[in-house]
Amino acid sequence: MTVPDLSRRVKPAVQVASSTDEFARLASDVVTRQLGARPDSALAFPTGATPLPLYAELARRCAESALSFSQVHSFNLDEYVGLDPEHRASYHAYMLEHFFSKVDIDIARVQLPNGLASDLDGECARYERAIASVGGLDLAVVGLGVNGHLGFNEPGTAFDVRTHVTFLAPETIDHNVRYFGDRARVPRQAITMGIATIFDARRVLLLASGEAKAAAVRAALEGPVSIDVPASVLQAHPHVSAVLDRAASALLERLVR
């Protein structure tokens, strides 16, 4: 169990894409390289708008037999509490629609947190055990919240926390209203891998696109390492790459010129 060593600072490899196609290609190349090195890798996957081009490109490569997910162990970063997996806005439904139904992944090797579990803390412990049972995460693909969150680790979450039940920050609820149509319908709680779970991955790929993420990208990659910006912990991770589009990279001063 790693407690992130914050005294270490490693420069992340940042790539900036000039188009959505290039964004998809650069992000997919990281996953492709990982599966080339280890076809049975354990991967963590995010949801949201950001990874959609990645999933489309991975599906395309899989259809062309350039890539296979048949041996991959897949773990989602998070899932809402209390939402039926059949609900359109659940992350179960999202992953099935955008990725699992489009690639040759073995559904028996796919895991998402069960937000309907009667014992939510027990479910969190089970999820950690499931990740450990395949030897830990080889590559965690993560998106970035407008507030710097990773998974549903909202600002203020301790860096040494593992999979847990959490409350969504107000800005995250606002960001996700579009999937529910009405703020009142957005679940208030989720199960999320903790920062320590994500940090323990051997590699991390951070994805961010759009102007709305520019300040969070700057804070995460160039700002102080602080629990106020959960993604800033990645500055202490030895193997982080970031794929950004131009808009999301616009406020970086040191890493991109």
Closest CA to 186 of 194, 175, 198: 175
Least distance in angstroms from the C-beta of 174 to ligand PGA: 11
Binding residue for ligand PGA, selected from 4, 12, 145, 230, defined by CB under 6 A = 145
Nearest to 45 by CA among 74, 88, 81, 80: 74
Question: Catalytic: which of 92, 149, 175, 237?
Answer: 149
Strand partners, 78: 192
Phi, psi (rounded to 5 degrees) for 237: -90, 135
In the bound state with ligand PGA, the residue whose beta carbon lies nearer, of 188 and 254, is: 188
Structure tokens given for 234: 């990645």
**Does 155 interact with ligand PGA (rule: CB under 6 A)?**
no
CB-count exposure of residue 238 (10 Å: 0-12, 13-18, 19+): exposed
Residue tagged active-site, from 57, 76, 78, 138: 78
114 is catalytic: no
* CB 213 to ligand PGA: min, Å: 7
Is 194 an interacting residue with respect to ligand PGA (CB under 6 A)?
no
Contact predicate 80/91, CB 8 Å: yes
The interface region with ligand PGA, picked from 53-61, 116-124, 138-146, 244-252 by CB under 6 A, is 138-146
What is the spatial distance between Cα 63 and Cα 181, in angstroms, rounded to a whole number?
34
Residue 143 near ligand PGA by CB under 6 A: yes
| DSSP helix/strand/coil, 54 | helix
Part in contact with ligand PGA (CB under 6 A); list of ranges 79-87, 113-121, 140-148, 197-205: 140-148
Q: Hey, how many other C-beta atoms are within 10 angstroms of the C-beta on 109?
A: 16
Contact pattern from residue 48 through residue 87 relative to ligand PGA, giving x for each residue in contact according to CB under 6 A and a dash for the rest = xxx-------------------------------------
**Cβ 176 to ligand PGA, closest distance in Å?**
8
- Residues in 157-176 that interact with ligand PGA by CB under 6 A: 175
